[in-house]
Amino acid sequence: MWKRIVFILLLVLSISLSNPGVAAAAGLKSFVDSYDGYEFLYPNGWLQVKVNNGPDVVFHDLIEISENVSVVISPVPDRQDLTELGTPTEIGYKLGKAVLAPPESGRSAELVNALQRESNGKTYYILEYAVKLPNMEDRHNIASVAVSRGKLFTFNASIPERRWQKVKGLMANVVNSFSVY
């Protein structure tokens, strides 16, 4: 019975990628920041959290509060595009070292996968990490990185490793929904 439920859920989620209208029916809500120029889908039942001096926006699961998505916006030197900043693997290693596991943090981030995709004339890098934290539960992060209007946008989903297999399809859909304009 559980296999059937998982199969149906994955089928609905895969359809939602090709039709955003279906995403709402599949339990995803839309967030739009027209001022900064980005949007994404996030799971129904997640709440927006105010963070001072941190990401532009953060949402987390109401029940499993350590599951979250966030957007960080940074300036890009000389208005370079994403491919001028580096390949998906190069950017993946830089992001892992600078953000997920900075020196002396005690954390480590292994780049598991790095892909490039195109959508509406924009280039996105999809980066997947296995993150080890000292004295805490390991995590799995998947990020979408893009450049628009001289800014680097990093959309990151962070999930406890113990839940990753259950939610990786959903999180892939969420991360792939991220778009900048």
pLDDT per residue of the chain (181 residues) written in tens, 0 to 9? 545 543 444 444 444 444 444 444 468 999 999 999 999 999 999 999 999 999 999 999 999 999 999 999 999 988 899 999 999 999 999 999 999 999 989 999 999 999 999 999 999 999 999 999 998 899 999 999 999 999 999 999 999 999 999 999 999 999 999 999 9
How far apart, in Å, are the Cα atoms of 147 and each of 32, 69, 151? Answer: 17, 18, 6
pLDDT of amino acid 118: 97
Q: What is the DSSP letter of 95?
A: H
pLDDT of residue 77: 86
Query: What structural domains and CATH numbers belong to the chain?
Result: 28-180 (3.40.1000.10)
Q: Classify 175 as helix, strand or coil.
A: helix
Cβ neighbours for 100, distance < 8 A, ≥ 6 positions apart:
107, 109, 129, 131, 141
Dihedral of CA atoms 93, 80, 42, 105 in degrees, nearest 10, equals: 30
Residue 26: what pLDDT?
66
**pLDDT in the model for residue 136:** 86
Q: Count of H helices and E strands in the chain?
A: 5, 10
Q: What is the pTM of this model?
A: 0.83
DSSP letters, 59-82, are EEESSSTT-EEEEEEEE-GGG--H
* Radius of gyration (C-alpha) of the chain in whole angstroms: 16
